[in-house]
Structure 1
Amino acid sequence: MFTSNYIIAETYTWLRYHTSSLHALSFLETVKKLQSKDRLTLIYASQDMEDKIKQLLRRYRDVVLSYPDAATGVIVNEFNIPQIFGFDSHLAMFGKTVLPGTGG
């Protein structure tokens, strides 16, 4: 399983604002445990990937696309990752299977 530091930051922030610091910190500990068991690979964008993310945001400026979602699009293509776990319908624009499905 793969994720990026952008998704970790976005998830931590959502948990912190909508639940509690305890839940948010527990999420970070879970990420750390999964990494230590080689069940999760954390991807950091290279400078070239950062440039592609910004190009993507400019190209799709009329789409409500967050920076983390644009980063996901670039990362799944750079690393040939066939599936995206997410709930945003626009994730399908990256040509990958979106699981469990899109909600809007």
Structure 2
Amino acid sequence: MKVFVDSGAWIALIYEDDANHTRAEAYYRSRLSQKARFLTSNYVLAETYTWLRYRVSHRRALQFHRMVSAAEQQGLLRILWVDRAVAEEAWRIFERYDDQVFSIADCTSFVLARRADEVFAFDDDFRIMRFPVRP
């Protein structure tokens, strides 16, 4: 099973004061025990690092970066990079959904999340786009 991880899920997982922290930990551990492969993107990670840096601390952003690097080295996480083709498809989505408040980063995630079986997220954006969202 492949699980695409959005920034809100990463934040809930690493930031103990997040309202979804307990749910995020339980879901993450459950999928780990099922040998799931986690996917995320460089844009999602940039959003997460920035959020942690400004709302928590520089140290916490670095801790998260080390956690991501270790997970990638262990084969638990694959970072998908936004290239020109992904960016162009993301802009098509952005143009099409003018009634939504999707960011361009969200739209790149929609393109990349097609490679996953489900999405680990806490906002409604992926649901609006009809992805199977957990937890």
Matches within 5 A, 1:54-93: 54-77=91-114, 79=115, 81-93=116-128
Paired with 2:103 and 2:57, the residues of 1 have a C-alpha distance of 23
Asked if residue 33 in structure 1 is aligned to residue 45 in structure 2, the reply is no
Choose between structure 1 and 2 for higher RCO, CA contacts under 8 A separated by at least 6 residues: 2
- 2:43–2:82 CA contact under 8 A, matched in 1: no
**How many equivalent pairs are there?**
98
For 1:50-95, what per-residue CA distance to the aligned partner results, in whole angstroms no more than 9, with x for missing partners? 1000111111122011222111111122x2x121111111211232
Report the TM-score when normalising by structure 2: 0.69
Which runs of 5 or more structure 1 residues have no equivalent in the other structure? Answer: none
Report the TM-score when normalising by structure 1: 0.88
Give the equivalent residue in structure 2 for 1:99.
134
Which letter maps to 2:118? Q
Q: Percent identity?
A: 32
Asked if residue 8 in structure 1 is aligned to residue 19 in structure 2, the reply is no
Paired with 1:93 and 1:17, the residues of 2 have a C-alpha distance of 28
Paired with 1:68 and 1:50, the residues of 2 have a C-alpha distance of 9
Aligned-pair Cα RMSD in Å = 1.1
